[in-house]
Amino acid sequence: VPLDDGAVVIVDYGASQGRNSMAPMSAAVDPVRGRRPGHPILVFHTDLPNNDFTSLFTIVAEDPQTYRRPEVFTAVIERSFYDRLLPSTSVALGWSSIALHWLEGVPGPLRGIWYADSTAEQHAVWKVAAARDWLQFLSSRAEELAAGGELVIVCGAADAYGSSGAEPAMAIVNAELAAMTSERLLTPTERESLAIPAWYRTVDEWRAPFAADEIGLQLVGLELVELGDPLWDEKPTLRLSRGLGMTPSTR
């Protein structure tokens, strides 16, 4: 990443409470330290305004993996990452993990609560919205990134058929909502208004804005990794309790 005279700006987009940000931020801060000892670094954590930033500050102060070092400063931004968040060409390195599946809003009604439970027509509307949001995110970052700056994104994805692996869990949630509607805990109108505004993109969808060269950013690498489910493989006895556990957590 570029090191100018001013502070190096690193941004963590969609940080939540920041627990999973400590290791990646340290991995970014330490090489800068190696290249320029004592050079000031500014780490911005961004999330929506209702995020628990208080816990984030505690984690930055106390977590054993914190990136907190002398001349490393923390700040937060309480605004959607679909907007531009920082001055033009100010960011050396951007990071975002497990956040970009969240769309900017609910694109439209769904037959179920999850985009895979949609009619073909609904699916098409959501697909267009997901493409628009991805392009919007990249366009905002393209303005913020300094020349030579980089953006690293880790996110859930879908295979070429659009399957993310979340479908069985969502089927349990759907069944539970149907049961709650039968039990009159939800009205049919409330049930119909529920939709999770998420979309897991295929490799082609992730690549699309770069192929059309719409944004002036270059795609350096893209890797689809099948993570499996380590807990599922490790402890078959957990399978039943996890399945049953979905019911109360859904309610």
Ligand X SMILES: C[S@@+](CC[C@H](N)C(=O)[O-])C[C@H]1O[C@@H](n2cnc3c(N)ncnc32)[C@H](O)[C@@H]1O
Binding interface with ligand X (CB under 6 A): 14-16, 20, 46-48, 51, 80-82, 97-99, 102
If you write DSSP's letter for every residue of 54-90 in order, what string do you get? HHHHHHHHH-TT----TTEEEEEEES-TTS--S-TT-
If you write DSSP's letter for every residue of 15-33 in order, what string do you get? -TTSGGGHHHHHHHHHHHH
List 47's β-bridge partners, or say none: 78
Closer CB to ligand X, residue 41 or residue 47?
Answer: 47
Closer CB to ligand X, residue 48 or residue 175?
Answer: 48
Please give the Cα distance from 101 to 135 (Å, whole number). 13
CB of 81 to ligand X, least distance (A): 4
CB of 96 to ligand X, least distance (A): 7
Nearest to 75 by CA among 49, 48, 52, 43: 43
CB of 37 to ligand X, least distance (A): 29
CB of 50 to ligand X, least distance (A): 8
Residues 6+ apart with CB under 8 A from 244: none
CB of 55 to ligand X, least distance (A): 11
Q: What is the dihedral of CA 139, 142, 143, 148, to 10 degrees?
A: 180
Please give the Cα distance from 59 to 19 (Å, whole number). 6
